[in-house]
């Protein structure tokens, strides 16, 4: 199967190449803001929003008289920025994103530019349009092997700046071997995962994964460096040094979180044939009083990574409806009780007297839902399978569900 996969490398540009990279990032940001201004004028006049092609034609006519530096950068940077703007308006109309905003020079997320066209990869260098061969701090052997074997094709290259470091992300169309459908032979191979804040994840087998909480641990230092930055005079050398120290700390927080999510999702997709998670309303939770903790946990990114890695390795990702009462339901007798406040960490069943950690109880309920989904005893409207039809393997599970659930209940009573 053909998938889109990104290969990210840190660059080691010289002084001239750093200036060229900064010029392309600035050109992409300028073109994006210019295109957004044209779209706002069209909306105020009651006209339709121009497409990316129309914006690019207007940009080509306007740039010759107003921006003389356009000859110093590749045409790909503003062209791809206008395409990103059109995509942003499309997502806004579809209700998937907010209205597009102007990009800021100081924002870490806005310091990006994308190239298409002639992009070549060497052992320790990456060739970009109008910039040339830029040395890479990492070896590109894996990508070179795929390119030489004809199993990969470079689609685009995105450069980004994080504090004082430059990175390039090569988006490639990679031919991966089609994963064999992994049949669930044992019920222990199905895992229910309850995501939380005290612990990042609690598995149905009792495993508890603690979250690194990089933002919470670095919050005191972040406040100190932010205060130090606010005391500096803007434009001075001390102001630039304080800005760099703060940006480096933000980069460290982001890297710790990203590394944790990649390791956990890769292990789950490789070792578990079926993973059951809950469809959490992250957008709603991010607006509550626990917004900082929810953002630090990054549940949405965890689900996104787990979804595409399950497709790569042939695992099944079963997403349970967000209104499924996993926390209120007793994992032993199935009685649905009252709604538990966040401060109450122990689930107590009034029907059978079960006392269990609320996160483990929810994980066991998700595990049972996954078993029922695989055996075909629930409808497809209550959950979704990110990897296609999950009906196969149900026959192998049907004969063992009763005995295995009895063993689970005995473990709960103990």
DSSP secondary-structure letter at 109? Answer: T
Give the SS3 label for residue 189: helix
What pLDDT, on a 0 to 100 scale, did the predictor assign at position 187? Answer: 64
Report the catalytic residues. Answer: 194, 278, 359
Edge-to-edge strands, sheet with 152-162: 2-11, 165-175, 152-162, 112-115
β-sheet bridge partners, residue 356: 347
- For 245-255, what is the mean pLDDT? 94
Query: Domains of the chain (ranges plus CATH)?
Result: 2-175 (no CATH), 187-218+246-413 (3.30.420)
Split at pLDDT 50, 70, 90, the class of 381 is very low
The CA-CA-CA angle for residues 208, 280, 401, to 5°, reads: 60
The CB density around residue 297, as the number of other CB atoms within 10 Å, is 25
**Residue showing tokens 């760099």:** 244
- For 257-285, what is the mean pLDDT? 92
Nearest to 178 by CA among 313, 315, 318: 313
Nearest to 307 by CA among 265, 354, 250, 340: 265
Tokens, residue 65: 């008289």
Asked whether residue 407 carries a pLDDT value surpassing 50, the answer given is no
Give tens-digit pLDDT for 209-227.
Answer: 998 999 999 999 999 999 9
Chain centroid to CA 345: how far? 29
- Phi, psi angles (nearest 5°) of residue 12: -125, 70
Q: How far apart are CA 52 and CA 323, in angstroms?
A: 40
Q: How far apart are CA 63 and CA 145, in angstroms?
A: 41
- Phi, psi angles (nearest 5°) of residue 275: -125, 130
Asked whether residue 398 carries a pLDDT value surpassing 90, the answer given is no
Asked whether residue 286 carries a pLDDT value surpassing 70, the answer given is yes
Asked whether residue 267 carries a pLDDT value surpassing 70, the answer given is yes
Element containing residue 369 per DSSP (H, E): helix 358-375
pTM for the full predicted model: 0.83
What pLDDT, on a 0 to 100 scale, did the predictor assign at position 186? Answer: 63
Could you tell me which residues come within 8 angstroms of residue 13 by beta carbon, excluding any fewer than 6 positions away?
20, 21, 134, 135, 166
What pLDDT, on a 0 to 100 scale, did the predictor assign at position 334? Answer: 77
Give tens-digit pLDDT for 289-341.
Answer: 888 999 999 999 999 999 999 999 988 999 998 888 888 788 778 778 778 77
Q: How far apart are CA 306 and CA 266, in angstroms?
A: 7
Q: Lowest-pLDDT range, 101-105, 231-235, 322-326, 389-393?
A: 389-393
β-strand 165-175 against 2-11: which pairing, if any? antiparallel
């Amino acid at each position: 199967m053909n998938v889109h996969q990104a290969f990210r490398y840190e660059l080691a540009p010289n002084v001239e190449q750093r200036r060229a990279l900064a010029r392309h990032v600035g050109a992409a940001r300028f073109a994006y803001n210019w295109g957004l201004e044209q779209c706002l004028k069209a909306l105020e006049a009651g006209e339709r929003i121009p497409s990316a092609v129309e914006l690019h034609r207007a940009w080509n006519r306007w740039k010759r008289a107003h921006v003389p530096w356009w000859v110093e950068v590749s045409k790909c940077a503003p062209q791809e920025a206008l395409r990103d703007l059109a995509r942003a308006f499309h997502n806004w109309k579809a209700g998937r994103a907010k209205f597009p905003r102007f990009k800021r020079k100081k924002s870490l997320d806005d310091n990006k530019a994308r190239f298409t066209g002639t992009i070549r990869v060497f052992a320790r260098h990456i060739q970009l349009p109008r910039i040339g061969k830029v040395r890479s701090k990492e070896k590109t052997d894996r990508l070179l092997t795929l390119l030489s074997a004809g199993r990969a094709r470079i689609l685009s290259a995105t450069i980004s700046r994080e504090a004082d470091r430059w990175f390039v992300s090569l988006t490639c169309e990679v031919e991966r071997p089609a994963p064999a459908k992994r049949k669930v032979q044992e019920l222990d191979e199905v895992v229910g995962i309850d995501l939380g804040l005290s612990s990042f994840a609690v598995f149905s087998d009792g495993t508890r994964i603690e979250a690194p909480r990089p933002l919470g641990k670095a919050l005191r230092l972040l406040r100190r460096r932010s205060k130090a930055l606010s005391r500096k005079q803007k434009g001075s050398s001390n102001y630039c040094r304080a800005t760099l120290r703060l940006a480096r700390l933000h980069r460290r927080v982001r890297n710790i979180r990203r590394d944790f999510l990649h390791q956990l999702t890769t292990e789950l997709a490789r070792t578990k044939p079926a993973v059951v998670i809950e469809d959490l309303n992250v957008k709603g939770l991010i607006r509550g009083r626990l917004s900082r903790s929810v953002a630090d946990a990054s549940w949405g990114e965890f689900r996104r990574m787990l979804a595409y890695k399950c497709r790569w390795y042939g695992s099944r990702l079963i997403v349970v409806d967000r209104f499924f009462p996993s926390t209120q339901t007793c994992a032993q007798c199935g009685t649905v009780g009252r709604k538990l406040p966040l401060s109450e960490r122990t689930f107590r069943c009034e029907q059978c007297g079960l006392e269990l950690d609320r996160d483990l109880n929810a994980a066991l309920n998700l595990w049972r839902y996954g078993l029922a989904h695989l055996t075909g005893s629930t409808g497809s409207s209550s959950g979704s399978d990110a990897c296609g039809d999950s009906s196969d393997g149900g026959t192998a599970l049907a004969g063992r569900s009763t005995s295995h659930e009895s063993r689970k209940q005995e473990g709960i009573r103990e």
